[in-house]
Amino acid sequence: MSLKIGFLGSGKMAKAIILSILKSKISSPKDITCHDISEETLSSLKEETNVETTTDNKVVLANADIIFLGFKPQNFPDAITELSNDIKAHHIFISIMAGIKIDQLQHHLSPRIVRVMPNTACLIGEMAAGYTTGDELTSSDLENVEKILNAAGLAIQVNEEDMDAVTGLSGSGPAFVARLIEYMIDGGTKAGLDPSIARQLALKTFSGTTRLLEQWEMSPEELIKMVSSPNGTTVAGREVLENSQTKQTIEAMIVRATERSKELGQ
């Protein structure tokens, strides 16, 4: 049976989730209703996906059972204050807002809340996400939620106290990884490669390493030892890396992003 799904806020992340839902045939376009304050955003979304679109957020609640909250956390709760009379007992709200906790969402919306932190890799169906739920969802509700979220990649259920760390690691992570890739491209270029060749090799090195770790179920240390011949090039490069403050910097980067997520929830 096609799930009736709505979106309050239909930006890039919402669009990626919608495309995943449609690809997995969880819902048909006619059963997805999307709201946004930008008519241009809605027009583009309609053209690409053929879902239902509206500038009236109450229409979403009237048409959908499961509703994504896709607006910025800074706009909460103002973006939903006028909807209190339109919220029904069957509504499930899935929030993708960083830092906004379940009890805050329940206070303004409904007991039936899911909080998820996706990342931008959901744009290609490779999302890494953590999610947590309120206590009011049934096993059937959870099955539907998991079906929707896993259509966009990997979604792992965690305790709510871990959600800020999920935000710091995988939510913000694509930007951190992209920066590291940029540095490797720059290094390859400085070593003498054409920038376009350095880019291709760096991208494939990252994706290939990830797939190898996943498919062979290896730890990073096992792969490091596999590549590191005694007195070889890898060991020479590792000496520079491992004698630097890179480990501490990356750990501090993720911790700071986690702290910022907590700040946004205050």
As a whole number of angstroms, the distance between CA 209 and CA 139 comes to: 37
Torsion angle of C-alpha atoms 219, 224, 230, 232, degrees rounded to 10: 170
> What's the pLDDT at 210?
96
- Nearby residues of 39 by Cβ (< 8 Å), 6 or more positions away: 55
pLDDT of residue 2: 84
pLDDT value of position 266:
75
The answer to whether the beta carbons of residues 95 and 113 sit under 8 Å apart is yes
d(CA 119, CA 169): 10
Q: Give pLDDT, residue 227.
A: 97
Token pair of 116, please? 């998820």
Instruction: Give yes or no for a contact between 82 and 64, defined as CB atoms under 8 angstroms apart.
Output: no
Q: Give the DSSP letter string of 69-113.
A: E-S-GGGTTGGGGGGGGG--TT-EEEE--TT--HHHHHHHS-S-E
* pLDDT computed for residue 137 by the predictor: 92
pLDDT of residue 142: 94
Distance CA 168, CA 98 (A): 10
What integer pLDDT is reported at residue 40 of this predicted model? Answer: 95
What's the whole-model pTM score? 0.87
In order along its 266 residues, the chain shows pLDDT tens digits of: 689 999 999 998 899 999 999 999 999 999 999 999 999 999 999 999 999 999 999 999 999 999 999 988 888 988 888 898 999 999 999 999 888 899 999 999 989 999 999 998 988 889 999 999 988 899 999 999 999 999 999 999 999 999 999 999 999 999 999 999 999 999 999 999 999 999 999 999 999 999 999 999 999 999 999 999 999 999 999 999 999 999 999 999 999 999 998 887 77
Whole-angstrom distance, CA of residue 174 vs CA of residue 261: 16
CB 70 within 8 A of CB 14: yes
Domains with residue ranges and CATH for the chain: 5-159 (3.40.50.720), 173-264 (1.10.3730.10)
Residues 235, 225 contacting (CB under 8 angstroms): no
Residues composing the chain: 266
